[in-house]
C-alpha cells in the first residue's frame, strides 16, 4: 500500500520516521508493506531520508497507487478542500487536524461513506492515547452518558507549575514556551479553544449528532490566579481545565472551563503535559484513558494506527460518524446544576454564610479581607442571581464554573 503525507512538520515527520523505522512490525500488523509514495510540503527537506517531496497537491490526488493520505498540515485551508477532493477520488484520509474535524467532520465523514473509503482521526484528540477508536469500537455497546477530561497538555503544564511550584500564570506560560510546550501565540491553548474543538469531536462521536465547537461555552485559564490555587488547596483541591460533555434526555450539554477537583478525583493527579479522559456509561461505570496528549511521536503513532486500520479495511467503510446537528440540540449549560466557586473582597463586611455553602478563608495578612465560597449544587442562573443578590455586597474577584468531588 502506498501512502501520501500532506504536511511534513512535527507530526508528518514523525509519521515518516515511524514508517521507516518500524516497517517490519507495521507489515506484520497491517498485512502488507506500507511505503511513502509522495510528501506534500512547500518547504525543502534536502536532508530527509525521503526523496519523494512535491509542492503540487495534484501529484498526490492523481497518483493512482496512493490509497491512503495522512493530512497532518493543520488548519482548514487548504486542508478542507484537499481532503474533500481526495475522498471524492476514492482515497482514504487520516488526520490529526482537530480544527478540520470539528468544523467539517460531518460532511467529510459522509463523503467517505459515499465513496466507500475512510476518514479517520484518532490523532485529533489525546495524541497517542487511544480514545476515538474505543468510542466507536470497544465502548460501542454502552449507552455513554458523560465524557470529560484534561484534553490540553499546554494548559495542564501551566496549571501544574502554578500548583506545584507557585509560578504565576505569566511565569508558567513563559516556561511552557521555553520548553516548547506552548506556541509563541498561546491563545488557542490558554483560552481553551483547542480543548473546545476536542470536546466538540468527542460529543459528536459519542452521542451521534454534530456539536459545533463555536457554540460551546468556552473559558480558558488566563484568569486563574495563585490566590485561586491557594483557596482550592485549602479546599483539598486542584484547578484543572476540563472539556466536558453529557447526554440529557432532549439533547447534550458541552462546555470548557476551569474546574476545582478534590484531590481524590482521578483527574486531580494528572500533571504536566499529560491528558486524562473519563468516559462514563450506563453499566460500564467510569473508564479513564491517560497519557501524553501531544508530542511528535505519540501523535504520529495515532495517525499511523489509522493508516494501518484503513489498510486492513481496504474497500470497506468503517462505520463511524454522526448525523447533522439541529437547533436546540446543544442545551444551555447554565441550566446544568453544579457547584460554583467564587472569591470575594469583603471590604470589612463579615464573610457570607449560607446553608450548604463551604466558606474558605486563608491565613496571612494579604488574605485578611478576602474569602471564597463553594456553593451547593445549583444552576448557573441561580448562582448568578445570588451574585446579584445576597453576595452583591462583596467585590467579586473571580469565579470558577465547576467544583467536583
Q: Indicate the annotated binding residues for NADPH.
A: 98
- If binding is defined by CB under 8 A, does position 115 make contact with a second copy? no
Cell numbers found for residue 90 = 476514492
Q: What's the longest Cα–Cα distance across the chain?
A: 76
CA distance 67 to 114: 16
Per CB under 8 A, 300 contacts a second copy: yes
Cα dihedral 392, 395, 399, 403, rounded to 10, equals: -70
Nearest Cα to Cα of residue 156 among 178, 134, 139, 173: 173
Catalytic residue list contains 198: yes
- Candidates 77-85, 149-157, 251-259, 300-308: pick the segment binding a second copy (CB under 8 A): 300-308
Could you say which of 41, 71, 99, 122 contacts a second copy (CB under 8 A)?
Answer: 122
Nearest residue to 264 via CA among 224, 243, 293, 235? 235
Nearest distance from C-beta of residue 168 to a second copy, angstroms: 24
319 binds a second copy (CB under 8 A): yes
Give the Cα separation of 214 and 221 in Å (integer). 18
Question: What binding mask, one character per residue, do residues 67-86 give for a second copy by CB under 8 A, x or -?
Answer: --------------------
Per the residue annotation, which of 91, 103, 198, 240 is the catalytic one? Answer: 198
Peptide bond into 377 cis (omega under 30): no
Q: Which one of 159-167, 169-177, 303-311, 324-332 is the stretch in contact with a second copy (CB under 8 A)?
A: 303-311
Q: Which is nearer to a second copy, 186 or 298 (CB)?
A: 298
- Candidates 9, 25, 55, 393; binder of a second copy (CB under 8 A) is 25
329 in contact with a second copy (CB under 8 A): no
Is 51 a binder of a second copy (CB under 8 A)? Answer: no
Q: Which three cell numbers stand for residue 69?
A: 493520505
Shortest distance (Å) from residue 128 CB to a second copy: 5
Helix (H, G, I), strand (E, B) or coil at 35: strand
Instruction: Round to whole Å and give the CA distance between 310 and 66.
Output: 12
In sequence order, what are the residues at sequence separation of 6 or more whose Cβ sits closer than 8 angstroms to the Cβ of residue 22? none
**Per CB under 8 A, 307 contacts a second copy:** yes
Cα–Cα distance for residue pair 374/17, rounded to 1 Å:
50
140 binds a second copy (CB under 8 A): yes
Give the x/- contact pattern for a second copy in 250-289, rule: CB under 8 A: ----------------x--x-----------xxxxxxxxx
**Should residue 28 be labelled a site residue for a second copy when binding is judged by CB under 8 A?**
yes
Cβ burial, residue 357 (10 Å; 0-12/13-18/19+):
middle
Q: Which is nearer to a second copy, 81 or 114 (CB)?
A: 114
Q: How many residues bind a second copy (CB under 8 A)?
A: 53
Pairing of strands 370-374, 358-360: antiparallel
Instruction: Identify the three-state secondary structure at position 318.
Output: coil
Q: Based on the shown chain and the rule CB under 8 A, indicate whether residue 35 belongs to the binding site for a second copy.
A: no
Cβ of residue 356: shortest distance to a second copy, in angstroms?
Answer: 28
For a second copy, the closer CB: 289 or 367: 289
CB atoms within 10 A of CB 347: 10
Residues 33/67, Cβ–Cβ less than 8 Å: no
Residues with a known catalytic role: 198
Residue ranges in contact with a second copy by CB under 8 A? 14, 18, 22, 25-26, 28-31, 122, 128-130, 133-134, 136-143, 208, 266, 269, 281-292, 295, 297-298, 300-302, 304-305, 307-309, 312, 316, 318-319
Amino acid at each position: 500500500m502506498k501512502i501520501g503525507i500532506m504536511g511534513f512538520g512535527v507530526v508528518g515527520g514523525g509519521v515518516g520516521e515511524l514508517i521507516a523505522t518500524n516497517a517490519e512490525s507495521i507489515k506484520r500488523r497491517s498485512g502488507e508493506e506500507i511505503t511513502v509514495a509522495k510528501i506534500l510540503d512547500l518547504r525543502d527537506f534536502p536532508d530527509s531520508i525521503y526523496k519523494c517531496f512535491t509542492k503540487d497537491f495534484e501529484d498526490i490526488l492523481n497518483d493512482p497507487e496512493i490509497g491512503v493520505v495522512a493530512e497532518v498540515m493543520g488548519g482548514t485551508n487548504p486542508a478542507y478542500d484537499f481532503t474533500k477532493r481526495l475522498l471524492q477520488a476514492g482515497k482514504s484520509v487520516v488526520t490529526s487536524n482537530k480544527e478540520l474535524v470539528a468544523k467539517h467532520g460531518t460532511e467529510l465523514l459522509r463523503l467517505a461513506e459515499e465513496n466507500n473509503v475512510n476518514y479517520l482521526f484518532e490523532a485529533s484528540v489525546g495524541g497517542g492515547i487511544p480514545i476515538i477508536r474505543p468510542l466507536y469500537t470497544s465502548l460501542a455497546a454502552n449507552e455513554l452518558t458523560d465524557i470529560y477530561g484534561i484534553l490540553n497538555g499546554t494548559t495542564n503544564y501551566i496549571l501544574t507549575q502554578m500548583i506545584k511550584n507557585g509560578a504565576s500564570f505569566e511565569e508558567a506560560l513563559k516556561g511552557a514556551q521555553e520548553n516548547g510546550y506552548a506556541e509563541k501565540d498561546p491563545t488557542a491553548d490558554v483560552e481553551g479553544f483547542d480543548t473546545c474543538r476536542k470536546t466538540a469531536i468527542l460529543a459528536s462521536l459519542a452521542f451521534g449528532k454534530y456539536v459545533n465547537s463555536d457554540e460551546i461555552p468556552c473559558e480558558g485559564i488566563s484568569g486563574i490566579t495563585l490566590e485561586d490555587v491557594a483557596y482550592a488547596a485549602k479546599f483539598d483541591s486542584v484547578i484543572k481545565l476540563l472539556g466536558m460533555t453529557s447526554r440529557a434526555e432532549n439533547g447534550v450539554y458541552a462546555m470548557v472551563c476551569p474546574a476545582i477537583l478534590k484531590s481524590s478525583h482521578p483527574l486531580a493527579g494528572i500533571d504536566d503535559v499529560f491528558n486524562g479522559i473519563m468516559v462514563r456509561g450506563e453499566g460500564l461505570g467510569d473508564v479513564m484513558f491517560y497519557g501524553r496528549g501531544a508530542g511528535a511521536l505519540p501523535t504520529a503513532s495515532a495517525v499511523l494506527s489509522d493508516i494501518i486500520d484503513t489498510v486492513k479495511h481496504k474497500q470497506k467503510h468503517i462505520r463511524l460518524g454522526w448525523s447533522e446537528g439541529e437547533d436546540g440540540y446543544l442545551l444551555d449549560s447554565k441550566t446544568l446544576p453544579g457547584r460554583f466557586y467564587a472569591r470575594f473582597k469583603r471590604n470589612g463586611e463579615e464573610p457570607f454564610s449560607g446553608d450548604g455553602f463551604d466558606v474558605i478563608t486563608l491565613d496571612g495578612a494579604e488574605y485578611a479581607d478576602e474569602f471564597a465560597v463553594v456553593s451547593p449544587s445549583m444552576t448557573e442562573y441561580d448562582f448568578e442571581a445570588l451574585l446579584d443578590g445576597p453576595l452583591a455586597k462583596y467585590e467579586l474577584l473571580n469565579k470558577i464554573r465547576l467544583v467536583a468531588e
